[in-house]
Amino acid sequence: MSFVYLIFIPMLAALVIPFLYKKVPGIHTGWFVLAVPAILFGLYTTFLSKVKNGESFTSTFDWIPSLNISVTSYIDGLSLLFSLLITGIGTLVVLYSIFYLDKTREQLHNFYVYLLLFMTAMLGVVQSDHLISLYFFWELTSISSFLLIGYWYKRDRSRFGALKSMMITVFGGLMMLGGFVLLSIMGDTYSIRELIASAPELANHEWFVWSLILVLLGAFTKSAQFPFYIWLPDAMEAPTPVSAYLHSATMVKAGLYLVARFTPIYASSEWWIWLVTGIGLLTLLWGSFFALKQTDLKGILAFSTVSQLGLIMSLLGAGAISLHTGIEDDNSIFKYAAFAAIFHLVNHATFKGSLFMIAGIVDHETGTRDIRKLGGLMSLMPISFTIALIGSFSMAGLPPFNGFLSKEMFLSGMLSIPEFDFFAFDTWGMLFPIIAWIASVFTFVYSFYFVFRTFTGKHKPDLLPKQAHEAPIGMLISPAILGSLVVAIFFIPNLIGDVLVKPAVVAIQPFLYSVPEDVDIHIAAWHGPNAELWMTIGIVALGYLLYATLSKWQPLYNKFPQGFTLNRLYDFMMFLSEVGTNRLSRIYMTGFIRSYLVYMFTGIVLLTIGTVFIKDAFEVSFATVAPIHFYELVIVLVLIAGTLTILFAKSRLTSIIALGAVGYSVALFFVIFNAPDLALTQLVIETVSVALFLLAFYHLPKLNRHENRMKFRLANALVAIGVGVTVTIVALSAHSQKLVSSISSYYEKTVYTEAGGGNIVNVILVDYRGFDTLFEIAVLAIASLGIIAMIRLRLTKKKEVNRIEDQ
């Protein structure tokens, strides 16, 4: 079955949706859209049983065969897991959006076209085996995400958030493309599977670390890692279904997918392990710390997403360590890290999706997302409260919810990092479990902050724009399904583990396992009284204490200096790129023709003299020079005198006459150097030119009649002398190093026999090289027509000119 075409089904549906929106206005367009992800989800589940046995599938659509570029869909455990997430959560989000977006007030066709486009892009990203098509779909996710964030395009904040996310993710995308290009040159293939197969050879390549860093930049910007997370909180201006879908469950996990997919290639490098684990942990701590500063429900969730993505990222980094320890080493827990990462990725998609939907419901039913205005909604919105409670407790890592299981696995992964005894992990590694523990405490506090500040406490109806009440049942279906999954996964974790997680782990760690059965990991909710349990108890105890005293220390966040935030840095960089480059170009784009001539002449001088100097090309040879005659010297002196007169003349008339003298002495040169035709032409043309100059002189401005000698300017003189010296050097060197003799002997021999003429110059002009003459005639014709047009055509008002002349 060529399942590669399944990727494009949402895109094709996007073509039809606007017609349905216009033709069937009675039915909410979302109902038509709902079928697409639902059917795709059903189709992708058919792969489950085979992938579980370790099989994988490829299907190729040739795109540009001559360049070896194709869209290759490769389905293994990892891509199937992501495909199911995309289509599954996609179905729930579309269902939720049907009740969230109003049929009459919203431009639904835009929304669903962007959403379907995004779905195709995301499926393409996770299934592509081809680097270039992966990049293609990657940018398509950036573009569709840009469109979705800016959905309410009349709001300033939406446009700002959309632009910001676009700038940052596209920056990362382009860096990633650079990494891909390096990879494809290093491995001489575009296929990720073939690159994985040749990973050991790649590791020795000099570009290896460069491509690693570039690919990671792509992953970090997309997955909102430190310091690129700043676009995600601003992306919360998107409609809530978009936030739930893109900015918690799918798109921000594209970076995680990338890291997971490329782990077999890069895991051998300590750069990879340190960067992925370190940045992940830093993001985890930073995000969980600043989540408590937020007062907007979606802002809290955005920072929480950043933090949880950092957690998964650090686990993926720890999982890469297993390449160095090997499967035989039973003490090593690192082989569990990748499992924990994927497991938490699934869990996070479930609880964060439901929490976003609840935040949207609260917004929809009360009119505000400001946590300071909310409170006491528990009795008014009991179902939403229950779902929010489940999601938050899971996020905090409490039993009996799935977050507890992944939290425990995360802690054991981090605890074992200091055991690792190379790449300096045995010294610095102690920091990892400490940071992880502190971040978990903050996670606990903001989870409680999110749910209890919204639903318990005092109800403040006078602050709310709307009368709060429970959401319609349709809006609650999707979060309820996700919430029950959160509970279900806690009780049957090994079903999910066997069917979804283990095949994905095989894809991430092919150096450890060949088939999913090899992954001998059993998740148990009760794992005995070990260090992780005590850490969890500590988290709950300290977290509860911090939450209870929150009102005492939360104002400390406002003391944080605004000038040093990363957003300020981003704004400053945008300012610099826009205003800075504008100012910079105004410095050199002066508008004076003199400046530009100086740039050009200086460029010519430096480039030419530099080349002559570097290539050691200067040479003076007296071998072929003609003898010097007295007349020639006289004319040389006349010519120089004429030129000097032009330079130092006080009146313009003198300089015009001197120019005529120069022209006539050039004509005399032509006479002496045996060029009669040139001399004739030069004399005639010089006469006409001088007449024209005098015409222009006659009409010169009467405004400043008093004529001045040209003012001496040192800079101009230096540039002029530079050009003169350059021309002299080039002329001398070129004359002294003739490589081939002239072809003129042919003309001299054949001018009479072949062309029947005696004047060789004239025969060359009209016979041997008659084409030049034809177009030189054309030049004269154009010039004369142009002159006539300039004089005759007067499209501007004549009054203006008269006014100036009368002054």
Partner 1 sequence: MEIIMCFVIGFLFMAAVYLMLSKSLLRIIIGTGLLSHGAHLLILTMGGLGGSAPPVVSPGVTDYADPLPQALILTAIVISFGVTAFFLVLAYRAYQELGTDNMNLMRGTEDHD
Task: Give bridge partners of residue 191 from the DSSP assignment.
Answer: 130
Q: Which is nearer to partner 1, 327 or 666 (CB)?
A: 666
Identity of the amino acid at 24: V
Interaction of residue 773 with partner 1, rule CB under 8 A: yes
Q: Which is nearer to partner 1, 514 or 595 (CB)?
A: 595
| Residue from 67, 714, 739, 779 in contact with partner 1 (CB under 8 A) | 779
229-248: which residues touch partner 1 (CB under 8 A)? none
Q: Which is nearer to partner 1, 515 or 597 (CB)?
A: 597
Length of the chain measured in residues: 807
Q: Which is nearer to partner 1, 460 or 583 (CB)?
A: 583
User: Least Å distance between CB 692 and partner 1?
Assistant: 5
User: Least Å distance between CB 136 and partner 1?
Assistant: 39
549-588: which residues touch partner 1 (CB under 8 A)? 586
User: Comparing C-alpha atoms, which of 132, 111, 678 is closest to residue 124?
Assistant: 132
| Residue from 2, 588, 674, 799 in contact with partner 1 (CB under 8 A) | 674
Q: Which is nearer to partner 1, 545 or 782 (CB)?
A: 782
Q: How far apart are CA 116 and CA 397, in angstroms?
A: 33
| Residue from 577, 611, 651, 728 in contact with partner 1 (CB under 8 A) | 728
| Residue from 35, 576, 620, 641 in contact with partner 1 (CB under 8 A) | 620
| Residue from 163, 431, 438, 675 in contact with partner 1 (CB under 8 A) | 675
| Residue from 705, 714, 791, 799 in contact with partner 1 (CB under 8 A) | 791
Q: How far apart are CA 521 and CA 322, in angstroms?
A: 15
Q: Which is nearer to partner 1, 477 or 657 (CB)?
A: 657
C-alpha distances (whole Å) from 20 to each of 24, 104, 221 are 5, 15, 36
User: Comparing C-alpha atoms, which of 202, 82, 208 is closest to residue 134?
Assistant: 82
Interaction of residue 643 with partner 1, rule CB under 8 A: yes
| Residue from 204, 526, 790, 799 in contact with partner 1 (CB under 8 A) | 790
User: Cβ(380)–Cβ(469) under 8 Å?
Assistant: yes
State the burial class of residue 347 (Cβ atoms within 10 Å of its Cβ: 0-12, 13-18, 19+): buried
Interaction of residue 664 with partner 1, rule CB under 8 A: no
Q: CB under 8 A: which stretch of 286-294, 380-388, 525-533, 641-649 binds partner 1?
A: 641-649
The count of other CB atoms within 10 Å of the CB of residue 678 is 16
Residues 6+ apart with CB under 8 A from 81: 342, 346, 500, 501, 503, 504
Interaction of residue 601 with partner 1, rule CB under 8 A: yes
Interaction of residue 774 with partner 1, rule CB under 8 A: no
Interaction of residue 201 with partner 1, rule CB under 8 A: no
Q: How far apart are CA 234 and CA 340, in angstroms?
A: 29
Q: CB under 8 A: which stretch of 25-33, 274-282, 371-379, 741-749 binds partner 1?
A: 741-749
User: Least Å distance between CB 601 and partner 1?
Assistant: 6
Buried b (16+ CB within 10 A) or exposed e, 589-627: eeeeeeeeebeebeeebeebbeebeeeeeeeeeeeeeee
Q: How far apart are CA 637 and CA 487, in angstroms?
A: 103
Q: Which is nearer to partner 1, 573 or 718 (CB)?
A: 718
| Residue from 64, 593, 614, 740 in contact with partner 1 (CB under 8 A) | 593
State the burial class of residue 696 (Cβ atoms within 10 Å of its Cβ: 0-12, 13-18, 19+): exposed
| Residue from 22, 472, 731, 737 in contact with partner 1 (CB under 8 A) | 731
151-180: which residues touch partner 1 (CB under 8 A)? none
User: Cβ(384)–Cβ(471) under 8 Å?
Assistant: yes
Interaction of residue 735 with partner 1, rule CB under 8 A: yes
- Tell me how far apart the 2 most distant CA atoms of the chain are, in Å: 116
Q: CB under 8 A: which stretch of 119-127, 316-324, 491-499, 726-734 binds partner 1?
A: 726-734
User: Cβ(256)–Cβ(313) under 8 Å?
Assistant: yes
User: Least Å distance between CB 581 and partner 1?
Assistant: 14
Q: How far apart are CA 342 and CA 85, in angstroms?
A: 12
Helix (H) or strand (E) holding 64: strand 57-64
Please calculate the CA angle 570-575-577 and round it to the nearest 5 degrees.
95
User: Least Å distance between CB 617 and partner 1?
Assistant: 15
Interaction of residue 725 with partner 1, rule CB under 8 A: yes
681-720: which residues touch partner 1 (CB under 8 A)? 681-682, 685, 688-689, 692-693, 695-697, 699-701, 703, 710, 713, 716-717, 719-720
Interaction of residue 628 with partner 1, rule CB under 8 A: yes
User: Least Å distance between CB 620 and partner 1?
Assistant: 7
Identity of the amino acid at 140: L
User: Comparing C-alpha atoms, which of 654, 648, 663 is closest to residue 694?
Assistant: 654
Tokens of 558: 């406002």
Interaction of residue 678 with partner 1, rule CB under 8 A: yes
User: Least Å distance between CB 685 and partner 1?
Assistant: 5
Q: CB under 8 A: which stretch of 95-103, 245-253, 299-307, 737-745 binds partner 1?
A: 737-745
Q: How far apart are CA 311 and CA 440, in angstroms?
A: 10
Number of residues that bind partner 1 (CB under 8 A): 103
Interaction of residue 641 with partner 1, rule CB under 8 A: no
| Residue from 491, 613, 631, 673 in contact with partner 1 (CB under 8 A) | 673
Q: Which is nearer to partner 1, 372 or 735 (CB)?
A: 735
Beta strands in 415-478 (DSSP E): none
SS3 589: coil
The count of other CB atoms within 10 Å of the CB of residue 31 is 13
Residues 6+ apart with CB under 8 A from 381: 361, 362, 365, 455, 468, 469, 470, 471
Interaction of residue 634 with partner 1, rule CB under 8 A: no
User: Least Å distance between CB 703 and partner 1?
Assistant: 7
| Residue from 194, 201, 754, 805 in contact with partner 1 (CB under 8 A) | 805
Q: Which is nearer to partner 1, 561 or 758 (CB)?
A: 758
